[in-house]
Amino acid sequence: MQSKTIKEKIKIQGKGIHTNLNSKVFLHPHNNKIEFFVKKKLIKINPFIISNTQGSTDLPGLKTIEHLLASLFINKIDNILIEVIGPEIPILDGSIKVFNQLLQNNTTELPQKAEVFQILYPLVDQNNPPFYFINTSDTLEVYCLLQDPKRKTKTLFYWNEYSEIIPAKTYGYFQDFYIFEKLNLGKGSNYFNTNILSLYKNTHNIYELNYHKIIDFLGDIYTTNIPYIKGFFFLYNPNHTINNQIAKLIYGIYKNLEGGLKVC
């Protein structure tokens, strides 16, 4: 498996879901892993430089990087320069559909081999059980258990690296939007880019909600810049904070070469 970048420069423009401000993103072919160029600063991505995980995954000076990173992970692009003019990665339609369309058939292999990280022993969040459990696997497998206290429902969802993943929009309850207002978030959310749920009407597809949780997880763990991660992950009501904890754990083991780093 070879490292990959994009063949041609890509331009993306739109408003952010939290700031409602316009940003321009330029994706450049690159050969120095995943780097962001924000406010005239070059930032090499890793989970320890994430500045916020409340409602999104943010870098210093840049909000909501997780959907773009998820699309890069799915397309196994591990070398790219992401130049951003503005405060936030555009939300577009709320899913990763547009990112995938722009990246598919626009990749090229690089001379170097891609890195593969394999979990070789169980890892568990003992401080906050049962938020996550990780074990060894020859593939990337994710079980996601969503418990909705508002509707008093539980849904268990399974995805692996060979499964299709639908684009899946972001979502939130209409009744919770006042909380986002107080946190100065969600200013750009609307019915086009967000699945707006209601306590009084069951109008959503539960599997789309699960898919979006998987997308967020993939984007958040790709802050490690490891394109091939092999392991079994059980996630209980995952969010960006928990995902970032897992990414830090993987990255820490990877840097110490304790978890079975392979180059294939």
Angle of CA points 11, 49, 121, to nearest 5°? 110
In this model, does residue 264 exceed pLDDT 50? no
In this model, does residue 33 exceed pLDDT 90? yes
For 2-112, CATH number out of 3.30.420.40, 3.30.56.10, 3.30.230.20, 3.40.50.261 equals: 3.30.230.20
Nearest alpha-carbon partner for 86 in 28, 142, 15, 136: 15
Tell me which H or E stretch contains 235. strand 228-236
Tell me which H or E stretch contains 256. helix 240-256
Q: How confident is the model at residue 128 (pLDDT cuts 50, 70, 90)?
A: low
C-alpha distances (whole Å) from 15 to each of 63, 183, 188, 241 are 11, 18, 7, 24
Tell me which H or E stretch contains 181. helix 177-182
Beta carbons within 8 Å of 205's beta carbon, 6+ residues apart: none
C-alpha distances (whole Å) from 122 to each of 204, 228, 231, 234, 259 are 35, 18, 10, 11, 10
Rounded to an integer, the average pLDDT of 109-124 is: 92
34-38 and 80-85 strand pairing = parallel
Residue type at 84? V
pLDDT tens digits for range 187-200: 999 989 998 887 76
In this model, does residue 204 exceed pLDDT 80? no
In angstroms, the CA 180 to CA 88 distance is: 17
CATH class of 116-263: alpha beta
Per-residue model confidence (pLDDT) at position 130: 59
Domains 2-112 and 116-263 are alike in CATH topology: no
Tell me the percentage of the chain whose pLDDT exceeds 90: 71
φ, ψ at 190 (rounded to 5°): -155, 180
Beta carbons within 8 Å of 252's beta carbon, 6+ residues apart: none
Per-residue model confidence (pLDDT) at position 198: 75
Among 163-172, 188-197, 200-209, 232-241, the least confident range: 200-209
| Domain parsing of the chain, residue ranges | 2-112, 116-263
3-state secondary structure of 116: strand
pTM: 0.93
Looking at per-residue pLDDT, the higher value among 257 and 49 belongs to: 49
Per-residue model confidence (pLDDT) at position 79: 98
Strand partners, 116: 228, 262
Looking at per-residue pLDDT, the higher value among 181 and 6 belongs to: 6
Per-residue model confidence (pLDDT) at position 259: 42
- 262 token code pair: 């392979």
- 20 token code pair: 């409602």
Among 60-69, 98-107, 140-149, 202-211, the least confident range: 202-211
Per-residue model confidence (pLDDT) at position 153: 79
In this model, does residue 255 exceed pLDDT 90? no
Angle of CA points 135, 237, 174, to nearest 5°? 160
Among 53-62, 156-165, 203-212, the least confident range: 203-212
Q: How confident is the model at residue 180 (pLDDT cuts 50, 70, 90)?
A: confident
Residue pair 72/222 in contact by the 8 Å Cβ criterion: yes
